[in-house]
Amino acid sequence: MDCESYNDFCKSLPATTHVVQWRGSHVWKVGGKVFGIGRWGAMKYAGITFKVSEIAYELLKDQPGLRPAPYLAPRGMKWIQHYADPGLSDDDLKLYLQESHRLASLNLTKKLQRELGLNGA
């Protein structure tokens, strides 16, 4: 997935905001909670990082092209980074980004979820 496709997909999810920070990373948030981090540039492969459930973390962490997310997973957070081939297909990556968006939004207050029209709140 290239930078433009990544940003277009994340923008299509409800109540999202985008900021470029952390040395040029494209960071997507829902209600102020990060759900996707994409980084391109001098790296051979894009690094797309997303939040996952505990079960998905166990399934994905040792798959070729995927790894526990640097800086996040060592702190006990369940985040995966897609960094090399074969990794995930674009369709699967979109599904995981959508789920990451949902997981991040569940950490918002019920009031904010209602205000943003998320999770049927």
Other Cβ atoms less than 10 A from the Cβ of 65: the count is 14
**Residue 71 identity:** Y
pLDDT in tens, 20-58: 998 889 999 999 999 999 998 766 557 999 999 999 999
**Separation of alpha carbons 9 and 71, rounded Å:** 24
Type of residue found at 68: P
CA–chain centroid gap for 66, Å, is: 13
What are the tens digits of pLDDT across the range 85-105? 899 999 999 999 999 999 999
Nearest to 104 by CA among 7, 19, 37, 20: 37
Residue pair 96/59 in contact (Cβ under 8 Å)? The answer is no
